[in-house]
Amino acid sequence: MGDPAIFLTGTGTGVGKTVVACALALRWAAQGRRPRVYKPAESGCELKSEGLYPADATALKAAAGDGRPLSEICQYRYALPMAPAHAAEEEGNPPEIEKIVDAISELRSRPGPLLVEGAGGLLVPLGPGTRMSDVARRCRLDVLIVAPLGLGTLNDTQMTVRVAREEGLSVAGIILNDLTGMESPSTRRNPSAIEELCDAPLLGVFPHISGLDSGMKESTEAGSIAARRLGEAINYVGWNSLG
Q: What is the pLDDT of residues 39-57, one digit of tens each?
A: 999 999 999 988 999 999 9
Does a structural domain hold residue 243? no
Over 60: is that where the pLDDT of 1 sits? no
Over 90: is that where the pLDDT of 222 sits? no
Mean per-residue pLDDT of the chain: 95
39 is annotated as an active-site residue: yes
Residue 24 is part of which domain span? Answer: 5-236
Which tens digit of pLDDT belongs to each residue from 76-123?
999 999 999 999 999 999 999 999 999 999 999 999 999 999 999 999
CATH of the domain at 18: 3.40.50.300
Which tens digit of pLDDT belongs to each residue from 114-163?
999 999 999 999 999 999 999 999 999 999 999 999 999 999 999 999 99
Say what percent of the chain tops pLDDT 70. Answer: 100
pTM of the model: 0.96
Does a structural domain hold residue 242? no
Does a structural domain hold residue 241? no
Q: What is the total count of domains within the chain? A: 1
- pLDDT score for 213: 80
Does a structural domain hold residue 119? yes
Which of 17, 39, 48, 99 is the catalytic position? 39
46 contacts 77 by C-beta, under 8 angstroms? no
Does a structural domain hold residue 39? yes
Does a structural domain hold residue 180? yes
